[in-house]
Structure 1
């Protein structure tokens, strides 16, 4: 299991519309092979900044498999116009959960 960790920056005045657009895309991720969940978090001290966390079976399930899918094209068409800059992307591998 890996966690895709995307740092997304949008215009602070677009927060409500962006959050709504992401919520409307949950089904795309739910249907994606190897995807086990997603969460969106607003960064409190930085208006317009978000973390999107998506759990995948493997990095390959996200890239290239999801990136090459029609679902990714739908996702990007619904949210990319909000981006002020290209999202920063990391892949994290959980080591331990302590509580």
Structure 2
């Protein structure tokens, strides 16, 4: 099991709109092969920084799997206007917590 951790910088004035947009595109993520759940968490010290943590069955399910899919393209199109900078994504191994 692996976790994708995506740091999503959002324009401060668009935080509420981002939350709504994420809820709209989340089904594209949840139907992906190997998807095991996600958490979207807003920063406390930096409320414009969101952390998206997604549990995947394998790294391949996320990349190239989901990242190479049409659903990922649509997922990003639905969110990209809210980003103040390029999201940063990395992966970690681990069990359930």
Q: Is residue 31 from structure 1 mapped to residue 39 from structure 2 by the alignment?
A: no
Q: In the alignment, which residue of structure 1 is the partner of 2:46? A: 46
Q: Offset of 1:96 from its aligned partner?
A: 7.1
Query: Does the 8 Å contact 1:9/1:50 carry over to 2?
Result: yes
Contact kept in structure 2, 1:29 and 1:37, CA below 8 Å: no
Partner of 1:18: 18
Tell me the TM-score normalised to structure 1 length.
0.91
Matches within 5 A, 1:1-99: 1-94=1-94, 97=97
C-alpha RMSD of matched pairs (Å): 1.3
Q: How many equivalent pairs are there?
A: 97
Q: Structure 2 length as normaliser, TM-score? A: 0.92
Give the secondary-structure state (helix, strand or coil) at the position aligned to 1:25. Answer: helix
Spell out structure 1 runs of 4+ moving beyond 6 A.
none
